[in-house]
């Protein structure tokens, strides 16, 4: 019995991502294949062991340091803009129009509309 098709389904079962059809197909295969049953048991045990550790915590004060840096960066940017405004106001920066989107009339206008 070839199990290559079921290796992916075993992982999907652990993650709770099987469709009803896939779950039925896998269950039938597990009833006949001790190797895949053992693999599934090993995967379940591995998932339980990893779950026991939980998610790693963040270092103490990390959120406060990030928030402080974001605020500092915003203050610096505001100061730069405030100080640069009188200098930049002396120069004229011409605005160039961006190419406009053109509408092309199609010979098949009646059937297809505009392109």
* Cα–Cα distance measured from residue 13 to residue 39, given in angstroms and rounded to the nearest whole number: 12
The number of residues making up the chain comes to 115
pLDDT at 51: 82
Query: Tens digit of pLDDT for each residue in 8-45?
Result: 899 899 989 999 999 999 999 999 999 999 999 999 99
Q: How far is CA 78 from CA 8, 69, 74, 82, 84, in A?
A: 53, 14, 6, 6, 10
Domain extent listing, the chain:
4-53
Query: Tens digit of pLDDT for each residue in 42-65?
Result: 999 998 888 888 777 888 888 888
Query: Tens digit of pLDDT for each residue in 55-94?
Result: 778 888 888 888 888 888 888 888 888 887 777 666 655 5
């Amino acid at each position: 019995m070839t199990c290559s098709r079921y290796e992916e389904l075993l992982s999907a079962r652990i993650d709770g991502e099987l469709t009803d059809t896939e779950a039925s197909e896998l269950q039938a295969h597990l009833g006949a294949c001790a190797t895949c049953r053992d693999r599934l048991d090993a995967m379940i045990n591995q998932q339980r062991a990893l779950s026991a550790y939980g998610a790693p915590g963040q270092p103490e004060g990390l959120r406060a340091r990030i928030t402080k840096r974001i605020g500092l960066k915003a203050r610096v940017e505001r100061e730069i803009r405030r100080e640069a405004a009188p200098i930049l106001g002396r120069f004229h920066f011409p605005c160039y129009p961006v190419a406009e989107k053109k509408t092309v009339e199609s010979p098949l206008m009646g059937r297809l509309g505009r392109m």
